[in-house]
A and B are shown apart, each in its own frame.
Chain A
Amino acid sequence: MADVSGWDWEIGTKTMPFDAWKADFAWVEEPYVSPDGERIAAVVNIDEAQFSVCVNGQAWETVFDKAWYLRFAPDGRLCVLVSEDGEWTVAVDGETWPERYGYVWNTLFSADGAHIAVAAQQDMQYAMALDGVMWENRFLNMTHYVLSEDGRHSAGTVQVKETGEADIARFQAGCFSAALDGEAWDSVFTNVWHLALSADGSRLAAEVRRGLYDYTIAVDGRPWDRSFSSVWHPIFHPVSGVVIAPVRLDGKWTLAADGEPIWTQRFVQAWHQQVSPDGRRLGAIVSPRYGYWTLAVDGNPWRTAVNEMLIDLRFSPDGRRLAAAAKHDGRWTLLVDDRLWDLRLDQIRPPVFSPDGRLVATVVETGGRFGLAVDGRLIPGTYEALWQPVFSPDGDRVLVRGIADGIYRRQVLTTAQLLA
Chain B
Amino acid sequence: MAQPTQSEAKQIVDPGIEKGAAGLTEDRIQAVINHVIQNETGARLKVYVDTCVHCGLCSEACHYYLSHDKDPRYSPVGKVKQTLWEMLRRNGRVSVDFMRRAAEIAHTECNLCKRCAMYCPFGIDIAYLMLVVRRIVHLLGMTPQYIQDTAHSHAAVCNQMWVKPDEWPDTLQWQEEEARGEMPTLRIPLEKEGADIMYSVIGPEPKFQAQLIYQAAVIMNAAGADWTMPATAGWDNSDMAMFTGDNEVMGRIKRDHYETAARLRVKRIVMGECGHAFRSVYDVGNRWLGWRIPPIPIIHAIEFYHELITSGKIRVAKKFQTPVTIHDPCNVVRGGGLHHMARELAHALCEEVVEMYPNCEHNYCCCAGGGVINCGPPWKSKRIEGNRIKADQLADAKIRGAKVLIAPCHNCHSGLEDINHAYGLGMEIKFFGDILYEVMEKPEA
Residues of A whose CB lies within 8 Å of any CB of B are: 26-27, 29-30, 45, 48-49, 66, 68-69, 102-103, 105-106, 119, 121, 126, 141-143, 159, 163, 166-169, 171-172, 176, 190-191, 193, 209, 212-213, 215, 229-230, 248, 250-251, 268-269, 271, 287, 290-291, 293, 307-309, 311, 327, 330, 346-347, 349, 365, 385
Contact indicator B165/A212 (Cβ below 8 Å): no
Contact indicator B251/A163 (Cβ below 8 Å): no
Chain B interface size range: 35 or more
Give chain A's interface secondary structure class: strand
Residue in A30, A291, A346 whose CB lies within 8 Å of B192? A30
Chain A residues near B265 (CB-CB < 8 A): 347, 349
Chain A residues near B233 (CB-CB < 8 A): 143
Chain A residues near B194 (CB-CB < 8 A): 347, 365, 385
Contact indicator B149/A171 (Cβ below 8 Å): yes
Using known A-B contacts A291-B290, A291-B292, A347-B194, determine if residue A168 contacts B16 with beta carbons closer than 8 Å: yes
Complex alpha-carbon distance, A44 and B231, angstroms: 19
Using known A-B contacts A69-B231, A209-B155, A290-B292, determine if residue A141 contacts B248 with beta carbons closer than 8 Å: no
Complex alpha-carbon distance, A105 and B233, angstroms: 12
Complex alpha-carbon distance, A166 and B15, angstroms: 10
Give, as a whole number of angstroms, the nearest-CB distance from A163 to chain B.
Answer: 7
Residue in A103, A176, A191, A229 whose CB lies within 8 Å of B166? A103
Chain A residues near B166 (CB-CB < 8 A): 102-103, 105, 119, 121, 126
Contact indicator A251/B19 (Cβ below 8 Å): no
Most buried by A among B138, B141, B289, B290: B290
Using known A-B contacts A119-B165, A168-B145, A308-B293, determine if residue A105 contacts B231 with beta carbons closer than 8 Å: yes
Contact indicator B267/A347 (Cβ below 8 Å): yes
Complex alpha-carbon distance, A89 and B74, angstroms: 57
Residue in A29, A106, A250 whose CB lies within 8 Å of B232? A106
Contact indicator B267/A168 (Cβ below 8 Å): no
User: Cβ of B362 < 8 Å from any Cβ of A?
Assistant: no
* Interface pairs (13), CB distance under 8 Å: A27-B185, A141-B164, A163-B152, A166-B376, A168-B19, A168-B145, A176-B156, A209-B155, A215-B248, A290-B292, A291-B291, A291-B292, A293-B290
Contact indicator A168/B262 (Cβ below 8 Å): no
Residue in A27, A68, A103, A209 whose CB lies within 8 Å of B190? A68
Q: Which residue of chain A has its CB nearest to the CB of B155?
A: A191
Chain A residues near B152 (CB-CB < 8 A): 163, 168, 171-172
Q: Which residue of chain A has its CB nearest to the CB of B141?
A: A212
User: Cβ of B435 < 8 Å from any Cβ of A?
Assistant: no
Most buried by A among B164, B165, B265: B165
Contact indicator B290/A26 (Cβ below 8 Å): no
Give, as a whole number of angstroms, the nearest-CB distance from B204 to chain A.
Answer: 15
Using known A-B contacts A69-B190, A141-B157, A169-B19, determine if residue A250 contacts B39 with beta carbons closer than 8 Å: yes
Give, as a whole number of angstroms, the nearest-CB distance from A85 to chain B.
Answer: 14
Give, as a whole number of angstroms, the nearest-CB distance from B242 to chain A.
Answer: 15
Give, as a whole number of angstroms, the nearest-CB distance from A197 to chain B.
Answer: 19
Chain A residues near B155 (CB-CB < 8 A): 190-191, 209
Extra pairs beyond A141-B165, A143-B233 (14, CB < 8 Å) = A69-B190, A119-B165, A121-B166, A141-B157, A168-B145, A191-B155, A213-B248, A269-B290, A271-B255, A309-B262, A311-B259, A330-B297, A347-B194, A347-B267
Within 8 A of A (CB), among B228-283: 231-233, 246, 248, 251-252, 255, 259, 262, 265, 267
Chain B residues near A193 (CB-CB < 8 A): 252
3 shortest interchain CB distances as A-B pairs:
A291-B292, A309-B295, A269-B290
Complex alpha-carbon distance, A287 and B252, angstroms: 16
Most buried by A among B145, B152, B173, B246: B152
Q: Which residue of chain A has its CB nearest to the CB of B232?
A: A106
User: Cβ of B146 < 8 Å from any Cβ of A?
Assistant: yes
Complex alpha-carbon distance, A229 and B166, angstroms: 31
Chain B residues near A168 (CB-CB < 8 A): 15-16, 19, 145, 148-149, 152
Chain A residues near B296 (CB-CB < 8 A): 309
Chain A residues near B149 (CB-CB < 8 A): 166-168, 171
Using known A-B contacts A29-B187, A142-B165, A209-B155, determine if residue A269 contacts B145 with beta carbons closer than 8 Å: no
Chain B residues near A66 (CB-CB < 8 A): 173, 177
User: Cβ of B45 < 8 Å from any Cβ of A?
Assistant: no
Contact indicator B290/A230 (Cβ below 8 Å): no
Contact indicator B295/A308 (Cβ below 8 Å): yes
Chain B residues near A230 (CB-CB < 8 A): 248, 251-252
Give, as a whole number of angstroms, the nearest-CB distance from B269 to chain A.
Answer: 13
Contact indicator B252/A308 (Cβ below 8 Å): no
Q: Which residue of chain B has its CB nearest to the CB of A229?
A: B248
